Amino acid sequence: MSWIKDNKTEIQLITAMLLILFGCTLIMMGFWVYPLGVIHNSILIAFGEMLTFAGAVFGIDYHYKMILNKKEKNKKEE
């Protein structure tokens, strides 16, 4: 459990990248795969867009956390 606390930002970045990857894959599959009646392509596209958006939000949060950490580190050094 302490490993998760120590590497929280890295886990967040990996999760963001995976969400974006899977989201983009589902969006493309919605265009390429013929719907066989199991999952309609609009569902694939909508879910892919949601995953991509969630990954982008995670990535933006990670980016600004890194900026804040750099500023805090610079203040401590001064």
> According to the model, what pLDDT value does residue 27 have?
74
What confidence score (pLDDT) does residue 38 get? 62
Distance between CA 47 and CA 3 in Å, rounded? 31
CA distances, 71 to each of 5, 6, 8, 12 (Å): 21, 20, 19, 20
Please give the DSSP secondary-structure letter assigned to residue 36.
-
What distances in angstroms separate CA 74 from CA 7, 64, 70, one per listed residue? 21, 15, 6
Task: Answer yes or no: is pLDDT of 10 > 80.
Answer: yes
Pairwise CA distance, residues 55 & 32, whole Å? 22
Mean per-residue pLDDT of the chain: 78
pLDDT for 18 beyond 60: yes
